[in-house]
Amino acid sequence: MHENINRKWWKEKVVYQLYPRSFKDTNGDGIGDLKGIIEKLDYIQSLGIDVVWLNPIYESPNDDMGYDISDFRSIMKEFGTMEDFDLLLKGLHSRGIKLIMDLVANHTSDEHTWFKESRKSKDNPYRNYYHWWDADKGKPPYRWSIFDKESNAWKYDATTNSYYLHIFSEKQPDLNWENPEVRNAVYDIMKFWLDKGIDGFRLDVIACISKDISFPEMPKDMPVGEWFPYYTQGPHLHDYLQEMNREVFSKYDCMNVGEMSFVTTDNALLFVDEDRNELQTFYHFDHTGARISKENFMYADDDNWDLVAWKKIFYKWDKAFAEKGWGTIYLGNHDMSRMVSRFGNDSEEFRTLSSKMLHTFLLSMRATPYIYNGDEIGMVNTNHTNIENYQDVYTINYYNQLKQKGEDHDGFLNSHAKISRDNGRTPMQWNDTAQAGFTSATPWLAVNENYKTLNVEEQESDPDSVLNYFKNMIQLRKKNMTLVYGAFELVDEDNQQIFAYTRQLENDKFLVILNFSDQTAVLNTSIEINENNILISNYKQPHHNNVYSPMHQSFIN
Ligand code: NOJ
């Protein structure tokens, strides 16, 4: 069947992103652990997903919750042991589920042996593993740092009278990929895990690994959107990715997905055109600007939401991969606030309808879907406006900076509360017992207060729950390769309330209708809609004469 499509197993999978710190705590320290994931393996299997992406579980001082790795070959103590890991991998594989790990290779922790050595002296064998700027040359050209206390990506280190580069926090020094020893060390780490049997990697900030190491001065007051040549996609990025492919990916039947900043549809295929032997897929950020301030992405802006423009982003990206390459689709992850709060409507009235609608979207697009844990039950933001409720280095450092400068730090928090990363990191809500059944202790990050009514147990027994809807939608995707490979076309594209599209493969055609608004909406289309052919819907009453209720979605064959 379907002879003309370029089938690959990793295109047909549904990925479940699992944030171990917040999944399930079994040893009573308030932090999720590998044994907790093992305990929930049957639940994970019951979802019908095919691949688990684990956020970093390696040894780490947790300045940035595991994205600051101090030993790539051992497991973070809070999470357990290598024996636990082996059991987890076995448990997943025996259930037919693959595992991809997070590869954080742009930087390490400052507590990694490489860095500890590197900072000791200028002639240390590890000196060249990182980017150093000799203070005798004066101050290095300014680079902004997203997590730094002063937003400065260069940190002075007195031992050798030099500065080191850290795009993220000062505890995350950037590795020097120009050095072949660094690259080989990273490939060895990748092979170590693949040889253990894992099925691939999500590649953290992979576009940043190659930099212009002449570090040219950045023009003052340059708008954020134009910064990328100073941070990402440096001159050797494609060489390094091809080398990584040659040295690692080509030797295993594995999958990979790169986190790709500032990528455009114009250069997308340079990364994922199969003939170039680089990556299989990446994820971009174009749609994630919705409801974030255009002036400063640390702030929310509810008015920055334009469904028509948003639809066009997805259309453009779909077309970029229509002939070659392959896309990914996601609406939530550990770096974002909750999907239904950001892109849907998390009010009591619409939360359930809206979550179902967003799952229909995620699972009916031409791209590999990534579903973030908790979204399968429609978890929502906590919206905390008190700094004590935050654990994220990003929020805390920016808040303190504003406070020190005497700027409006409370105003920042009131706004940031809607988009903070910690919104997406609150513990999984398993049941209505204390701490949502996540832990017997005080959790590392407070559980959302709504856990008594919004939890897995409740939804498992409710046939109309978001959870059961999500499972049904996964099955529909699995049964219909048209939903994976079929062409995507917008319907009534200028409709400001409804996101509607068709998916078609040969004679098999589906129509998806999603009313993103909280008002009744009319779809203008000449496509004849037969109400008997609705495969799934979040409203019991079918639509009438192309008029759709708020947050309505239908999925029609
Ligand atoms: C992207 C990760 O997703 C994020 O959580 C992390 O803070 C940065 N990379 C730095 O590793």
User: How many Cβ atoms are within 10 Å of 506's Cβ, its own excluded?
Assistant: 12
Beta strands in 260-305 (DSSP E): 281-283
Residues with Cβ within 6 A of ligand 1?
64, 67, 104, 168, 204-205, 259, 334-335
pLDDT of the residue at 32: 98
216 CB-near residues (< 8 Å, 6+ apart): 141, 230
Spacing, Cα 446 to ligand 1 middle (Å): 21
Q: Which of 205, 201, 206, 256 is nearest to 58 (CA)?
A: 201
- Which atom of ligand 1 is the closest one to the Cα of 68? 11
pLDDT of the residue at 2: 57
Reading the block at residue 400, the tokens are 């303190």
Q: Which of 59, 148, 199, 204 is catalytic?
A: 204
Rg of the chain in Å (alpha carbons) = 23
Beta carbons of 48 and 476 less than 8 angstroms apart: no
pLDDT of the residue at 3: 56
Minimum CA distance residue for ligand 1 atom 6? 67
Active site residue 204: yes
* φ, ψ (nearest 5 deg) of residue 200: 145, -170
DSSP string, 15-39: EEEE-GGGT--SSSSSS--HHHHHH
Sign of CA dihedral 29, 30, 33, 35: positive
To which H or E segment does residue 476 belong?
Answer: helix 466-479
**Cα separation of 321 and 356, whole Å?**
26
**Cα separation of 62 and 21, whole Å?**
11
Q: What is the reported pTM?
A: 0.97
Spacing, Cα 67 to ligand 1 middle (Å): 6
Minimum CA distance residue for ligand 1 atom 8? 67
- Which atom of ligand 1 is the closest one to the Cα of 394? 7
Instruction: List the beta bridge partners of residue 455.
Output: none
Give 10-residue mean pLDDT values along the chain (557 residues): 80 98 98 98 98 98 98 98 98 98 98 98 98 98 90 96 97 98 98 98 98 90 80 94 98 98 95 98 96 92 96 98 97 98 97 97 98 98 96 94 95 96 98 98 98 98 98 97 97 98 96 96 93 90 82 87
Reading the block at residue 158, the tokens are 């007195």
Residue 28 is classified by DSSP as: S
Q: Which of 429, 465, 422 is nearest to 450 (CA)?
A: 429
- Which atom of ligand 1 is the closest one to the Cα of 393? 7
Spacing, Cα 352 to ligand 1 middle (Å): 29
Q: Ligand 1 pocket test: which of 22, 57, 62, 64 has the largest number of ligand atoms within 8 Å of its C-beta?
A: 64
- Which atom of ligand 1 is the closest one to the Cα of 168? 10
For 217, counting Cβ atoms within 10 Å of its Cβ (0-12 exposed, 13-18 middle, 19+ buried), the class is: exposed
Active site residue 259: yes
Q: Which of 33, 102, 259, 301 is catalytic?
A: 259
Q: Which residue bears the tokens 């994220």?
A: 392
CA distance readout (Å), 434 to 438, 452, 460: 8, 9, 19
